[in-house]
Amino acid sequence: MNKWVQGLIRPDVLDRQAYVVADPGDAIRLNQMENPYGWDAEFWAECMQAIQRCEVNRYPDASGAQLIQAIRQHDRLADTWGVMLGNGSDEIIQTLIQAACDGTRPVMAPTPTFVMFQIIAQQCRVPFVGVELDANWQLDRPGFIQAMQQHNPALVFLAQPNNPTGTLYHEADLRAIIEACPGLVVIDEAYGPFSPRNHQAWLDEYPNLVLMRTFSKLGLAGLRCGYLTGPAEWIEQINKVRLPYNLGVLNQQVAHFALTQGAELMAEQARRLIASREALIAAFRKRGWQAYDSDANFILLEVDNPSEVYADLVTQGILIKDLSRAHPSLARCLRVSIGTPDENQQLLHALDRALA
């Protein structure tokens, strides 16, 4: 390696692997919890008209005011809550950590969970403390509270529903953890559109709570658009750390169009995915496979040889997620995103062959 690179780049960065996503080619993509339904040509044509009004020679609206207004209306957010836009939730996680963590107080989360909480914390040189979920993928309430007392976290991330387990934690455990938390709790509702629970009313109850949401799972993963909402005082401070112009003018315009003209379309697609999820879980269980309940747009499945099954599916043209090396408790686990009914059928056939 060039000695300049060797001498200048942080050792922990030199040791890291880049975040690589394999080229899916023509494979059926059931590995990233995307919405498989696109937009039809007519709806796209309407969107194009809205995009034509964008001035790409100008910087975007740094405050994202028009999009924030649409989000406020769509989610019925109270005037007393602020909204901050992010280039996907990933960027918001980074902004939160930069705003709240000085490197001494850690980030905490129940594990296994969304890997970016830990990856981004480490990248920001902030310690990460994970507390294991129990055998039913539920919170270990006393264990988590005791760990918070010991480690004094600045931030606690609770993905609800959780990725990769698909679980909603028991409400009483969640509340107890928020009440006992010495720092800011972020409920990550990325999979909220597929879940019966919404924590919005909790914002009025807890002064140390904010909610993070994204358009990615609703059908706009390519846009990279998420947002943080909660008491205005929190958002005002966290927003200071956000990079100006973090959301391009086209992203803002398409997200605005989707929310104002396509909300019912996206909600209907989410309902179809929920129905497909339940059908797929039933089909898995009918075959005697261990599929966990899910409140998200994916299913966690336990099999004897997950890496072999994963590789077999790749040869059959289907990409899913092999979690067997992601966390000790996931050693037997695969995660499959819900696709169209046709894709789900192909997945079932491919799994039948792989597990025969």
Name the residues that contact ligand PLP, by CB under 6 A: 33, 88-90, 114, 159, 163, 188, 190, 214, 216, 221, 226
Query: Number of helices (H) and strands (E), helices first, in the chain?
Result: 13, 13
Q: Residues 114, 121: contact at Cβ < 8 Å?
A: no
In the bound state with ligand PLP, the residue whose beta carbon lies nearer, of 126 and 354, is 126
Tokens representing residue 70 in the block: 């649409």
In the bound state with ligand PLP, the residue whose beta carbon lies nearer, of 121 and 159, is 159
Q: How far is the CB of 47 from ligand PLP (least distance, A)?
A: 20
Q: How far is the CB of 48 from ligand PLP (least distance, A)?
A: 24
In the bound state with ligand PLP, the residue whose beta carbon lies nearer, of 163 and 276, is 163
In the bound state with ligand PLP, the residue whose beta carbon lies nearer, of 153 and 226, is 226
Q: Is the dihedral of CA 49, 54, 57, 60 positive or negative?
A: negative
**Nearest Cα to 220, choosing from 84, 67, 342, 93?**
67
CA 144, distance to chain mean position in Å, is 22
Q: How far is the CB of 221 from ligand PLP (least distance, A)?
A: 6
Q: How far is the CB of 35 from ligand PLP (least distance, A)?
A: 12
Instruction: For the chain, report the end-to-end CA distance as a whole number of angstroms.
Output: 47
Q: How far is the CB of 319 from ligand PLP (least distance, A)?
A: 15
| Helix residue ranges, H only, the chain | 3-8, 11-14, 41-52, 65-75, 88-100, 116-123, 141-151, 171-180, 232-239, 249-261, 263-286, 306-315, 341-355
Give the integer Cα–Cα distance in Å for 110 and 132. Answer: 6
Q: Residues 203, 67: contact at Cβ < 8 Å?
A: no
Q: How far is the CB of 211 from ligand PLP (least distance, A)?
A: 12
Collapse the DSSP code of 78 into the 3-class scheme (helix H, G, I; strand E, B; otherwise coil) and give the result: coil
318 to 283, 309, 334, 336, 345: CA distances (angstroms):
18, 11, 13, 10, 11
In the bound state with ligand PLP, the residue whose beta carbon lies nearer, of 82 and 161, is 161
In the bound state with ligand PLP, the residue whose beta carbon lies nearer, of 209 and 354, is 209
In the bound state with ligand PLP, the residue whose beta carbon lies nearer, of 35 and 214, is 214
Q: How far is the CB of 165 from ligand PLP (least distance, A)?
A: 11
